[in-house]
DNA sequence: AACATCGTGATACGTTCGTACCATAAAGAG
DNA sequence: CTCTTTATGGTACGAACGTATCACGATGTT
């Protein structure tokens, strides 16, 4: 049976199984055996490719972040070539809203991880803790660029508004996730604020 | 030894021990034995006052929500008698920001619970899921009241802004919690938006 | 052809967790 | 002064979980 196999592909398969289980039952409730069953492999295999649960977790998180990045760039590309700053901002913020199954999973698992990182310093030390920071800097740059192009209303503070938009979309995303609000309503609120910033 | 004892007081003690452990090690990691040790009682006692872990959890969550309510009203009272709508809104939103140990605990545990409720319908069915809804309605009412009093800038949509302020403070709170931002910076951003709404 | 390595399965071990059970001392009721 | 109820301690049980161990067939190398 054992042919030579692509380890990276295998790891990806297992990581996606992990994410599916996490989306269904919650990140706290996923065990090695669940992941193995979901991936259709034996427990031993999961152990073989990821020696420990923590490594599996971290790989899964990285994979999730990667998929989210692809999602954002896909959305930007879908906005045509050389889209304006507003379209790019809309692509970024819109990708983070839990609209379909994938973005719901992203939001849920990422929030779970963020909560865990507060009390677990091994997780907090991980590189993707600072991913929100990167998003913030990108947003500031986009707003500044729009400002220089005369696209913004006068008196807009790029830094404050970047922070606000990010916090807003995170908060709106959570309210959608728990079923308090429809995705469309959340998108509408975001749009309202972009209208407020842009001419 | 066994004198007649106030059960409600006992339950409160144990619930606060639960919250302390949850703040320190994360809600997912709290066990009955941890709570018992933290409260300085035997495991059996925790079982005696709360028959099951789920009941303990729910009681703890209710207790947390109650303490938060007291915190808000205390802040409102501290703003003088008959404070204006803006002061009341500031009191509400400011209480939710993780500034001291108690509000950090509140934010962390409440977020943990929200995450859990996405994948656990027993939790999702609980009454305090709709607490954000109540806060939203209160905010809308305050903004409408301010509008009628001519305190708002023209063209402000009370409903949209109420949703925005709530989502904003939730998002800002989380970023403070994970150490991305200082509490003062978050408060500053909130203030900036209140300045935007009020004359 | 012989052999070391890789991929995979089955299963066992030690721990932790929630819960259940048994015992018993103190306190109020009659 | 008995007797039932209340409050509390100690401990045991069964399940689940992460991890480790043993075994073995297939593959590539020399």
A6 CB-contact burial (10 Å; exposed 0-12 / middle 13-18 / buried 19+): exposed
- The pLDDT of A97-103, averaged and rounded, is 96
CATH code of the region A1-51:
1.10.10.60
A53 CA from C5 C1′ (Å): 25
Q: How far is B74 from chain A (nearest CA, A)?
A: 25
Task: Name the residue of chain A whose CA is nearest to B193's CA.
Answer: A164
Q: What is the pLDDT of residues A9-29, one digit of tens each?
A: 999 999 999 999 999 999 999
Looking at domain B62-197, does it have CATH number 1.10.357.10? Answer: yes
CB distance A178 to B129 below 8 Å: yes
Instruction: Count Cβ atoms below 10 Å from residue A3 Cβ, excluding itself.
Output: 4
Q: How far is A18 from chain B (nearest CA, A)?
A: 15
Q: Per DSSP, what are the bridge partners of residue B166?
A: none
- The pLDDT of A79-101, averaged and rounded, is 95
Which pLDDT value is given to residue A3? 61
- The pLDDT of B21-26, averaged and rounded, is 97
Nearest CA to A13 out of A40, A43, A42 is that of A40
Nucleic strand D under 7 Å from the C-beta of B48: yes
B2 touches chain A (CB under 8 A): no
- If pLDDT is split at 50, 70 and 90, which confidence band does A128 have? confident
Asked if the Cβ–Cβ distance from B115 to A179 is below 8 Å, we say: no
Asked if the Cβ–Cβ distance from A114 to B174 is below 8 Å, we say: yes
Instruction: For tokens 């709404």, name the residue.
Output: B197
Which pLDDT value is given to residue B1? 47
Name the token pair of B185. 């910076």
- Eight-class DSSP state of B82: S
Q: Is residue B3 predicted with pLDDT exceeding 80?
A: no
CB distance A99 to A75 below 8 Å: no
Asked if the Cβ–Cβ distance from B119 to A29 is below 8 Å, we say: yes
Q: Where in chain B is the domain with CATH 1.10.10.60?
A: 1-51
Q: Per DSSP, what are the bridge partners of residue B198?
A: B152
**Orientation of helix A53-78 relative to helix A7-25, angle to 10°:** 90
Q: Where in chain A is the domain with CATH 1.10.357.10?
A: 64-197
Query: What's the CA gap between A93 and A85, in Å, rounded?
Result: 12
Name the token pair of B56. 């303990």
Q: How far is A99 from chain B (nearest CA, A)?
A: 15
Query: What's the CA gap between A63 and B85, in Å, rounded?
Result: 46
B118 touches chain A (CB under 8 A): yes
Q: What is the pLDDT of residues B98-126, one digit of tens each?
A: 999 999 999 999 999 999 999 998 898 88
Q: What is the pLDDT of residues B70-82, one digit of tens each?
A: 999 999 999 999 8
Asked if the Cβ–Cβ distance from B168 to A166 is below 8 Å, we say: no
Exposure letters A185-195 (e unless 16+ CB within 10 A, then b): ebbebbeebee
Residue B126 gets the label, from left (phi > 0), alpha (psi -120 to 50) or beta, of beta
Name the token pair of A175. 């309210």
CATH architecture of A64-197: Orthogonal Bundle (1.10)
């Amino acid at each position: 049976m054992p042919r030579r196999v692509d380890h990276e592909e295998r790891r990806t398969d297992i990581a996606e199984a992990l994410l599916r289980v996490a989306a269904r039952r919650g990140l706290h409730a996923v065990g090695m055996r669940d992941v193995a069953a979901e991936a259709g492999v034996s427990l031993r295999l999961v152990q073989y490719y990821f020696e420990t649960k923590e490594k599996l977790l971290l790989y899964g998180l990285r994979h999730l972040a990667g998929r989210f990045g692809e999602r954002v760039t896909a959305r930007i590309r879908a906005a045509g070539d050389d889209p304006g700053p507003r379209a790019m901002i809309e692509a970024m913020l819109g990708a983070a809203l839990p609209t379909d199954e994938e973005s719901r999973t992203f939001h849920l698992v990422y929030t779970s991880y963020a909560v865990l990182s507060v009390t677990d310093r091994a997780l907090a030390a991980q590189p993707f803790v600072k991913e929100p920071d990167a998003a913030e800097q990108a947003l500031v740059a986009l707003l500044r660029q729009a400002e220089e192009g005369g696209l913004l209303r006068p008196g807009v503070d790029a830094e404050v508004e970047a922070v606000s938009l990010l916090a807003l979309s995170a908060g709106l995303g959570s309210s959608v996730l728990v079923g308090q609000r429809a995705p469309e309503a959340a998108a509408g609120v975001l749009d309202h604020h972009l209208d407020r910033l842009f001419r």
